[in-house]
């Protein structure tokens, strides 16, 4: 269990570091990928509901701290989107390209659309269709492509953690 917590902290810190440094300078059509959201989708596809929900909450709080505008909105949205993904992840062949692309795309569209709706309700903007077509859809496409190279390494980390847990439980028995 200790290794899982340390691995989760390391994944969150690495993703936050890359999101705030390297990806700040990597823009495609003036859109930046959201590595924390991609990590949330990957973990929700790989892990059971309780583990993915807790990790998604931590990733969302990290995203809130990096954004600096509000605290809690991304945490709530990441948490709520990760639960349905992790509930159906056992019924899917997760390594399929279409599954990864579709979950990355739909999750990004849902989270960013709801976040912009919340922000527009509080600030009173009227440009939601423009934001949707110029920010949300390109970011969803970029995030769904970013899932492809990240899925196998993160899956490998969790496979190794499961082996360590099985070995430790077998020795303790």
What residues does each domain of the chain span? 2-24+33-156
How crowded is residue 48: how many other Cβ atoms within 10 Å of its Cβ? 12
Are 143 and 108 contacting, i.e. CB atoms less than 8 angstroms apart? yes
Q: Of 29, 49, 45, 27, which is closest to residue 37 (Cα–Cα)?
A: 45
Question: Is this prediction's pTM over 0.75?
Answer: yes
In three-state secondary structure terms, 20 is helix
Q: Vertex 50, ends 67 and 59: CA angle to 5°? A: 15
The predicted pLDDT at position 4 comes to 82
User: Whole-angstrom Cα distance, residue 158 to residue 93?
Assistant: 17
Which residues have CB under 8 Å from 117's CB, separation 6+?
A: 128
Confidence (pLDDT) at 173 = 52
Spatial contact of 89 and 46, defined as CB atoms under 8 Å apart: yes
Give the single-character DSSP code of 93: -
Ranges under pLDDT 50 in the chain: none
Quick: pLDDT tens for 7-25: 889 999 999 999 888 887 8
């Amino acid at each position: 269990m200790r290794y899982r917590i340390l691995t989760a902290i390391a994944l969150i810190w690495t993703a936050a570091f890359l999101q705030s440094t390297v990806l700040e300078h990597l823009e495609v059509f003036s859109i930046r990928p959201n590595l924390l959201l991609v990590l949330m989708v990957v973990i929700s596809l790989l892990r059971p509901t309780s583990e993915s929900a807790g990790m998604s909450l931590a990733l969302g709080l990290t995203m809130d701290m990096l954004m600096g505008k509000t605290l809690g909105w991304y945490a709530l949205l990441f948490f709520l989107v990760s639960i349905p993904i992790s509930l159906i992840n056992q019924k899917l062949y997760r390594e399929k390209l279409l599954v990864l692309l579709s979950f990355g795309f739909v999750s990004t569209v849902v989270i960013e659309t709801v976040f912009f709706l919340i922000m527009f309700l509080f600030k009173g903007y009227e440009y939601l269709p423009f934001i949707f077509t110029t920010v949300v859809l390109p970011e969803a496409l970029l995030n769904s492509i970013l899932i492809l190279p990240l899925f196998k390494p993160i899956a490998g980390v969790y496979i190794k953690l499961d082996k360590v847990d099985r070995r430790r439980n077998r020795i303790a028995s």
